[in-house]
Amino acid sequence: MSSIPSQTQRILEFAVRLAQEAGRITLEHFGKAPAAETKGDGTPVTAADRAAEAFLRQRIEAQYPQHGILGEEYGESRPGASIRWILDPIDGTRSFLRGVPLFAVLLGVEIEGWPSVGVAHFPALGETLAAGRGLGCWWNGRPARVSEVSQLRHAAVLTTDPVLLLEEPLRGGWERLAREAGLVRTWGDAYGHALVATGRAEVMVDPVLSPWDAAPFLPILSEAGGRFTDLGGQERLDGRSGLSTNGWLHPQVLELLAP
Ligand code: IPD
Ligand code: CA
Ligand code: CA
């Protein structure tokens, strides 16, 4: 790496600090039975989600006033900017509400439309996964790498809510995949994608995903040697679904899941 940090590297380092600072805000509320409201889309939100996103936006706007921001709780600012931050202040709000530590602060940064930086920070676990295009993927400062498992019968397959996969047209594909897998577990939300990127699981399937749920995982999986696509096999953040694998298993999983 050159001694002059690239733009991507500077943004990555800033994003890691921000995610960890926002994580501290979430921990002030975690385990204290925070009150939740239900949003228009039926998902819960707490004062912690709003405080963490407000903090992130204020810090990004102070540092990079020309950058755009898309956040789950406060929407889009400066649409059309060449660099766009995509924020999920708390991914796994349902875990957070129940005192389960598998929630994350997610930050993704698109540069000229290309997902280039990703940070997934798990405040209650003390885990940070961070990647920049061409800069590698790092897990608490050590290189993160997907597993080498190339057979589904040895693979751990994860999802968030299996009920969603038992609806048509996904049901048949999910049943085929689950039958062939060595292990199926619901270590879901962002943590499922993080487990794949760090070689602790091989496949994470989520049929319902927004751009802020997906944003960090395109750079994270590709820099860790794996793949992140939607369930149609496209590398995109707005495909409304997500599939992370260690790369070896990606074609087979897409084929099995195809309706
Ligand atoms: C949820 C998680 C989950 C996905 C849902 C999201 P939230 O995020 O990312 O994995 O399946 O669609 O709503 O609401 O906890 O930030
Ligand atoms: Ca989310
Ligand atoms: Ca959220």
Q: What is the pLDDT of residue 259?
A: 87
The chain-wide mean pLDDT, for the chain, equals 97
In whole angstroms, what is the distance from residue 127 CA to residue 120 CA? Answer: 8
Helix, strand, or coil here: 73? coil
In whole angstroms, what is the distance from residue 91 CA to residue 140 CA? Answer: 19
Ligand closest to CA 50: 3
Model confidence pTM above 0.95: yes
DSSP secondary structure string for all residues of 132-162: ETTTEEEETTEE--------GGG-EEEES-H
Ligand closest to CA 208: 1
**What domains, with CATH codes, occur in the chain?**
7-143 (3.30.540.10), 152-257 (3.40.190.80)
91 lines ligand 1 (CB under 6 A): yes
Distance 148 CA to ligand 3 centre (A): 31
Distance 212 CA to ligand 2 centre (A): 6
Helix (H) / strand (E) containing 38: strand 36-38
93 lines ligand 1 (CB under 6 A): yes
Distance 108 CA to ligand 3 centre (A): 13
Res. 1: pLDDT tops 70: no
In whole angstroms, what is the distance from residue 229 CA to residue 1 CA? Answer: 28
Res. 2: pLDDT tops 60: no
Residue 161 dihedral angles phi and psi, to the nearest 5°? -130, 105
Report the pLDDT averaged over residues 134-156: 98
What tens digit of pLDDT does each residue of 15-35 get? 999 999 999 999 999 999 889
Query: Considering only 5-9, 15-19, 52-56, 70-74, which range has the smallest mean pLDDT?
Result: 5-9
What tens digit of pLDDT does each residue of 176-235 get? 999 999 999 999 999 999 999 999 999 999 999 999 999 999 999 999 999 999 999 999
Percentage of the chain exceeding pLDDT 90: 97
Contact 99, 191 (CB under 8 A): no
What tens digit of pLDDT does each residue of 83-110 get? 999 999 999 999 999 999 999 999 999 9
Identify which of 53, 96, 102, 209 to mutate to test ligand 1's pocket (most ligand atoms within 8 A of the CB).
209
Atom of ligand 1 nearest to the CA of 210: 12
202 lines ligand 1 (CB under 6 A): no
